[in-house]
Amino acid sequence: MTLGQSIAHSEYWHARALQIIPGGVSSPVRAFSSVGGTPRYFVEGRGSRVIDVDGNEYVDLVGSWGPMIVGHAHPEVVRRVTESAAKSSSFGAPGPNEVLLAEEMQRRVTAIERVRFVSSGTEAVMTAVRLARAATNRNVIVKFVGCYHGHADALLVQAGSGVLTLALPNSPGVTQGAAQDTVVVAYNDIEAITSLFAQRGSEIAAVITEAIPANMGVVPPIPGFNTLLSNLCKKYGALFILDEVMTGFRVSSGGLWSLVHAEESWTPDLFTYGKVIGGGYPVAAVAGAAKVMDLLAPLGAVYQAGTLSGNPVATAAGLATLELCDDELYAALNRRANEVGQVVSQALTEQGVAHRLQRGGNLFSIFFSPNEVRSFEDTQHQDVKQFAAFFHSMLSQGVSLPPSAYEAWFVSGAHSDEDLELIASASKVAAVEAARSANP
């Protein structure tokens, strides 16, 4: 792709979309609200590249927000999906693929005793919260500012991701009744969460946190933070819900928990998963201890259902993807994420652009701020105008970044040395544009 290449067809499709779809998009961050301009309409993906309706090709650092861990249209995933779809796209009945996928998840995460499949991360979290309330006979849920757990009413309070992009920290339509039992605490604030439990511990049903927050940009937990959360929950009889929708099976073969368990020795009561376990198809899950999970109907009284839950085609895609995620792939992802982050950081440094590269496993993001980012409040001090200039310059040179300063960047096993060279070259030009746009 060359600078100034036409996007007429993306503009055409977006104009049509605006007439029929609210904001022209089916998920808010896709609208380019925080960076301006016209969203690209993609029609094809091959490995590390995506192609828009105008025929422009981009190195993809979005990866459908994580699930394209082995690259777009991997031949084995395509083969398994095609084979399954040819037999029927849905039965509304049990099938072998969901059993095999659940067993593969359990093999990778030893703390998993039961798995219930749903179709989205929001559904998984909603189910986990319902289970926690039923198991404890309590109502209060604790979450952290900037962590995003889907758009269920009770958790759409001081959320991250697209909510930040649209400058809507809370959503209209969420009633006071739905939100009144949600308590929001600053992330990485040990004193605040300890004090909250001391005051209201007997009311708390669960604490939920992203394993590595990545919906306000990548903000890793400070050492011992997740251990503290687990210990507080045990002490006061609450459940600990670890949201691994983004990190699950991406930062390691068993997600964040499996990566740190040997050293930190804590175990959540419930996990939520999505993204990678569907390989680009709509699959998510809640998983965890049998004593809690078996409260779900039909064994227990906690109701949850879904016509397309455990869909045979989607679970075939997820199983094929996980089977491709071996130690060699994770080593490659870590290496490539480090390389991409470093070449972009170097380009910005050469132009005197203040920034901070932060990583959580192979998730990473660049904040246009010189200071370490440890909380949602810290993310608010970056220069989003600089990010927008950098983003559009990269896009015009054939590199697709997340269209928000508050998102993680993703690499895949398909990213090559050639891709890295293109990213490095584009970053040098984009850094100049970012420097020019700096706020006075």
Q: Which residues are catalytic?
A: 148, 243, 275
Q: Which amino acid is at 190?
A: I
DSSP 3-state assignment of 203? helix
CA 352, distance to chain mean position in Å, is 30
Residue 354: other Cβ atoms inside 10 A: 17
Rounded-to-integer distance, Cα 439 and Cα 89, Å? 52
DSSP 3-state assignment of 402? coil
**Phi, psi for 385 (deg, rounded to 5):** -65, -40
Burial of 226-260, coded b for 16+ CB within 10 Å and e otherwise, reads: bebbbebbeebebbbbbbbbbbbbbbbbbbbbbbb
For residue 10, the surrounding DSSP H or E stretch is helix 8-18
Between strands 204-210 and 363-367, the pairing is unpaired
Structure tokens at 381: 């001090």
CA angle 346, 347, 352 (to 5 degrees): 90
Structure tokens at 65: 């927000």
Query: 194 CB contacts (<8 Å, ≥6 apart)?
Result: 228, 232
Rounded-to-integer distance, Cα 343 and Cα 366, Å? 12
Contacts 24+ apart (CB under 8 A), 132-135: 132/205, 132/206, 132/238, 132/239, 132/241, 132/269, 132/270, 132/292, 133/205, 133/206, 134/295, 134/300, 134/301, 134/302, 135/205, 135/239, 135/269, 135/291, 135/292, 135/295
Instruction: Return the DSSP state at 405.
Output: T
In 163-269, DSSP assigns E strands to 182-185, 204-210, 239-243
Rounded-to-integer distance, Cα 40 and Cα 5, Å? 12
Cα dist. 428→61, 351, 400 in Å? 17, 8, 15
